[in-house]
Chain A
Amino acid sequence: MGKEKTHVNVVIIGHVDSGKSTTTGHLVYKCGGIDQRRLEKFEKAAAQMGKSSFKFAWVLDKLKAERERGITIDISLLKFNTQKYTMTIIDAPGHRDFIKNMITGTSQADVALLVVSAAKGEYEAGVSRSGQTREHALLAYTLGVKQIIVCVNKMDLSEPPYSQKRFDEVVRGVSGFLKKIGYDPTTVPFVPISGWTGENMITATQKMPWFQGWKVRRREGNSSGRTLLEVLDSIHPPVRTINKPLRLPLQDVYKIGGVGTVPVGKIESGVLKPGMTLMFSPAKLTAEVKSIEMHHQGLQAALPGHNVGFNIKNVAVKNLRRGDVAGNAQQDPPSDVIILNHPGKVKAGYSPVLDCHTAHVTCRFAELKEKLDRRTGKKLEDQPQILMSGDAATVKLVPIKPMCVESFFTYPPLGRFAARDLKQTVAVGVIKSVDKDHGSKPTKAQVFK
């Protein structure tokens, strides 16, 4: 059922109160994320309570309450279908650990949906210095989410309602800062919607006759349309890097009686097949793949995105560990950083723990190379003495023990990391280049509070 559709992860970002949850709720509600039986149950209850006119809101509330109790692990609550894709929504929480998780976690976002409120005052608050709109967009860009969609929400609350002037104002402002962050505004679709009343969500509205539809120009071709759903359907599917060499960071290693050593991990690039000879870095061990299984089923080839277990010969469990990376050629690791949130000052010698794919290794800030403007990337200062929250810089990082990473530009999933200290994420970044086999990596650090 819809299995043949490509899977896309959408992260919803935006300022608090921009209507993220309502908008996602609407998509999920209308496009089939919620199973029919539950929906009917809720709708019936809503009707009984005389709330059928607020059915949608009421159902959302119920679902929220249900999630709050944690009684369902049905992630399909946050899934919906477009014509071409199955989409999973990541409704970005404000939780301080979320960013780290977005970097090292298993589900990477393919597309960012930036929700901006057009309601009086809310747009201004969202893009003000204290607003989260810019920060989120910047983060999405830094983490390599190349496609971004902007919906101008709450058009029903603009003044006057459904005002073209207001929409234009918001578009002007948002495209201005998206451009500064690094996105090309001509590739960014802007859609005026109301997540609450549903204008332009699934079907085109009559209330904004001035809206001529969104258009984007991309290298891969232009597209246009009127509704948010159409935009989502027009995105470019994530490129699964099949043509690249294999990269498979290990999550766990098992010893199975009668089978032997079974490492498990998610393939980030390349293809894994039985009979291949693998090299594990940084352990520098080689082994042949005997068989592959996913969900207890044998596989003849495993592709990027697959979470697989495979059986190898001649390697003892104790010689492998979480964080090792399996490859079929000898290619090794790199790094790049953004410092998020650090209470003090960072000097050369600072050694936080780096989380990169599944590895956790302490790394030393060996050399602060240059301080950058975190928005433009322009160099501000050579060899800075200290870095503070809000600064960005290129830093040379040296891990205290061998670790396998890659340049962000060649293997994005293996090239982004979060640095942790004092039990919080103090920096995030990407690896610019790697000095192979020495384990030292020049990095770019950006401090950001």
Chain B
Amino acid sequence: MPKSSTKMSGLQCLAAENIWFDKQRYDEAETRFYEGANGPATQQFQVKTALQHVKGRPQKRQHRNSSSHAAGDQELVSRMKSLELENNSLHKVVVEMRAALQKLESRVAVLEKNPAPAAVPCAKTVPVQAAPAKVENGDDDDDDDDDIDLFGSDDEDEEAERLKQERLDAYAAKKAKKPTLIAKSSILLDVKPWDDETDMGKLEECVRSVQMDGLLWGASKLVPVGYGIKKLQINCVVEDDKVGTDILEEEIVKFEDFIQSVDVAAFNKI
């Protein structure tokens, strides 16, 4: 049962598609017809014939309608169709552009990364760009061949080849994981009160009231220190680029009525 029905609808779809394609032609004829300032009677006739070629049920309905209505409907439908087509193609363009942009971005990232850690100032011309870089790079290595270059002793050809391969792979790898992850860290903070009488509930409230972009407070617990003193151990997840331990500490220590100091108990990558 379901099979036959899907088949049916498939066929219908196909049929419909044909109709739409044909329709355009009819529409054109219709427009020309209008432009030629012909009498409404002929128009109606034209429309009717067009419709006859086209659909089953809608045809009948339109048939009954006044000629102007039919024409208007059809025009609307055709315009919608063309808009849809246009929309589709636009979507395609957007996707293409996005892909291109991503490629560019990853490329820029590679470019940025490479020169930065090249600690030796004179090595700023580090290679990344495809073709010309290869040559440059070879030269580079010769110039400032401090202990960084592992392949300094290899001959140029091999090195160039290797570098090329390396770049290709780096590129492929970059592409493979397109949605670049936001680097996050999990930080466990020890928040210490002034004495054993500090209200730890309030203290926690204060800590949690610190809000920043890229900061998420997690679970917490009280850890006994000694002599009735407890410290608050609280977990938070931060986005590496947005939140640093220093700002966090500064913000928390502002509640100086409750908090004596803050230490980082654990710091891990997520």
Which chain A residues have a beta carbon within 8 Å of chain B's beta carbons? 17, 20-21, 64, 67-73, 75, 78, 90-98, 100-102, 105-107, 119-122, 124-125, 127-132, 134-135, 173, 176-177, 180, 251-257, 259, 262, 264, 292-297, 307-311, 322, 358, 374-376, 388-390, 420, 423-424, 448-449
Our pick among B228, B233, B263 for the contact of A73 (Cβ within 8 Å) is B233
Cα(A74)–Cα(B174), bound, Å = 33
| Chain A min CB distance to B49 (Å) | 56
Report the minimum CB–CB distance from B63 to chain A (whole Å).
Answer: 54
Q: Which residues of A contact B264 (CB under 8 A)?
A: 101, 105-106
Q: Are A96 and B170 CB-contacts (below 8 A) given A173-B150, A390-B121?
A: no
In this complex, the member of B118, B119, B184 whose beta carbon has the largest number of chain A beta carbons within 10 angstroms is: B119
Answer whether residue B105 sits at the interface, using C-beta atoms and an 8 A cutoff: no
A70, B217: Cβ atoms closer than 8 Å? yes
Q: How far is the CA of A139 from the CA of B43 in the complex (A)?
A: 85
Q: Please name all residues of chain A whose beta carbon is closer than 8 Å to the beta carbon of B1 when the two chains form the complex.
A: none
Q: Closest residue of chain B to A65, judged by CB? A: B270
Interface majority SS (helix, strand, loop, mixed), chain B = mixed
- Determine if B183 and A70 form an interchain contact, defined as CB atoms under 8 angstroms apart: no
Is B72 part of the contact surface with A, judged by Cβ < 8 Å? no
Q: Does B120 contact A (CB under 8 A)?
A: yes
Do B225 and A97 touch (CB < 8 A)? no
B169-188 residues with Cβ-Cβ distance < 8 A to A are: 169-170, 172-173, 183-186, 188
Q: Which residues of B contact A295 (CB under 8 A)?
A: 223-226
Contact B185 A95 (CB under 8 A): yes
- Going nearest first, the 8 A-B pairs with the smallest beta carbon separation are A70-B218, A121-B169, A293-B226, A309-B226, A93-B269, A390-B119, A124-B166, A93-B185
Contact A177/B147 with A122-B173, A129-B126 known, Cβ cut-off 8 Å: yes
Is the C-beta of B246 less than 8 angstroms from some C-beta in chain A? yes
Whether, in the assembled complex, B37 has its beta carbon less than 8 Å from a beta carbon of chain A, the answer is no
The answer to whether B183 touches A124 (Cβ under 8 A) is no
Which B residues are in CB contact (< 8 Å) with A91? 268-269
Contact B240 A129 (CB under 8 A): no
The answer to whether A296 touches B226, judged by C-beta atoms less than 8 angstroms apart, is yes
Q: Which residue of B lies closest to A375 (CB)?
A: B147
Neighbour of A129 across the interface among B121, B148, B167, B183, CB < 8 A:
B148
- Looking at the assembled complex, report how far the CB atom of A90 sits from the nearest CB atom of chain B, in whole angstroms: 6
- Digitize B236-270: 1 where CB-to-A-CB distance is under 8 Å, 0 elsewhere: 11101000111100000000000011011111111
**Beyond the given A293-B226, A309-B229, could you list 20 further A-B residue pairs with CB under 8 A, ordered by the A residue number?**
A67-B186, A69-B218, A72-B218, A90-B267, A95-B185, A97-B246, A121-B167, A121-B173, A125-B166, A128-B114, A129-B119, A130-B126, A173-B150, A257-B197, A259-B227, A293-B227, A309-B227, A423-B246, A448-B119, A449-B119
B225 to chain A: which residues have CB within 8 Å?
A: 264, 293, 295-296, 307, 309
B221 within 8 A of A: yes
Among residues of B, the one whose C-beta sits closest to the C-beta of A74 is B219
